[in-house]
């Protein structure tokens, strides 16, 4: 990224966000274990692409959950996590991230019988209110802030590899060559877990003109680097075209995992000023 690209043609003046969504089971699986939440509905299908608009003056909730394939009924796990989040947000929209987390865990436990104990799913969500997005994540589904200056991961991976990095047990250079060995989840939502709700990571970001917020399951970033995600989005004719290209590229490189992407663009004139993220790790 040696020089800034030209302003993408889709950056235009408006009073709303453009939202583009894609979810796909990938090249191998018939069943989609990812679920997405947009327009106050949970979607889970063998192929789903949508385009829509969100008013900047109204609260909104978008989210992705990725069912853990090694756990019982991962498809139900991801749906249930998002249903629990939606119920919490609709009943108490002013709840804190920790309160939402506890409500999701309670909903998941009540929706699960003994045979499904242990079913698990990740979560990455963006709650919009008062001109800001609050990002919540648990697991390895991600949130990125993208603009002409680059791409920044807003979420924090809850994986064995990330914990080793945090503890200084491995360097970034070593991690790049060992990701497949230590990619196991360190935290996520687990039905009837004896440990209770998982740890979450939160941050708040005010999306500015010319910036994009992208949520994804790991079916995207397993196959495309952060720089490749940035390049595909920023050099596309539209947000929707960029999202489709990302999905196609991930599938072309193997696509062994489900792929889900939600991308939001604040469609007004380009503003190259980066808006930082006020990271607030939540430790319990």
pLDDT of residue 283: 42
Residue 249, helix vs strand vs coil:
helix
CB 61 within 8 A of CB 129: no
pLDDT of residue 51: 86
Q: Render the burial of 116-133: b for 16+ CB within 10 Å, e for the rest.
A: bebbbbbbbbbbbeeeeb
pLDDT of residue 176: 65
pLDDT of residue 134: 98
How would you classify residue 139: left for phi > 0, otherwise alpha for psi between -120 and 50, otherwise beta? Answer: left
Can you give the pTM of this predicted structure? 0.86
DSSP state at residue 208: -
The rounded distance, in Å, linking the Cα atoms of 276 and 106 is 33
Q: Which residues contact 45 (CB under 8 A, 6 or more apart)?
A: 23, 32
68 alpha-carbon distance from chain centroid: 15
Token pair 């004896």 is found at 194
- Angle (nearest 5°) at CA 195 between 189 and 197: 40
pLDDT of residue 11: 45
Structural Rg of the chain based on CA atoms: 18
The rounded distance, in Å, linking the Cα atoms of 51 and 11 is 15
DSSP state at residue 67: B
Domains and CATH numbers, the chain: 16-272 (3.60.40.10)
What residue ranges of the chain have pLDDT lower than 50? 1-13, 268-284
Q: Please spell the DSSP secondary structure of 77-125, one letter per residue.
A: HHHHHHHHHHHHHHH-TT--HHHHHHHHHHHHHHT--GGGTT-EE-EEE
């Amino acid at each position: 990224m040696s020089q800034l690209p030209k302003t993408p043609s889709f950056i235009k003046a408006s009073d709303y966000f453009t939202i583009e969504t894609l979810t796909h089971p990938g090249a191998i699986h018939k069943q989609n274990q990812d679920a997405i939440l947009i327009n106050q509905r949970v979607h889970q299908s063998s192929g789903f692409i949508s385009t829509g608009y969100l008013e900047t003056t109204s609260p909104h909730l978008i989210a992705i959950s990725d069912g853990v394939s090694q756990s019982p009924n991962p498809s139900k796990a991801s749906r249930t996590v998002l249903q629990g989040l939606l119920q919490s947000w609709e009943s108490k929209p002013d709840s804190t991230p920790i309160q939402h987390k506890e409500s999701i865990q309670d909903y998941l436990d009540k929706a699960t019988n003994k045979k499904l104990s242990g079913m698990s799913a990740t979560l990455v969500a963006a709650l919009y209110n008062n001109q800001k997005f609050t990002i919540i994540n648990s697991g390895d589904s991600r949130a990125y802030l993208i603009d002409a200056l680059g791409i920044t991961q807003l979420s924090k991976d809850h994986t064995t590899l990330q914990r080793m990095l945090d503890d200084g047990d491995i360097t970034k250079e070593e991690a790049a060559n060992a990701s497949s060995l230590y990619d196991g989840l360190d935290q996520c939502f687990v039905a009837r877990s004896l440990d209770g709700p998982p740890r979450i990571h939160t941050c708040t970001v005010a999306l500015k003109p010319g910036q994009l917020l992208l949520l994804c399951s790991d079916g995207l970033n397993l196959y495309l680097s952060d720089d490749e995600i940035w390049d595909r989005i920023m050099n596309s004719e539209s947000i929707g075209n960029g999202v489709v290209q990302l999905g196609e590229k991930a599938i072309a490189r193997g696509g062994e995992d489900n792929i889900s992407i939600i991308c939001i663009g604040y469609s007004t004139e380009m503003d190259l000023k980066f808006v930082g993220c006020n990271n607030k790790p939540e430790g319990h």
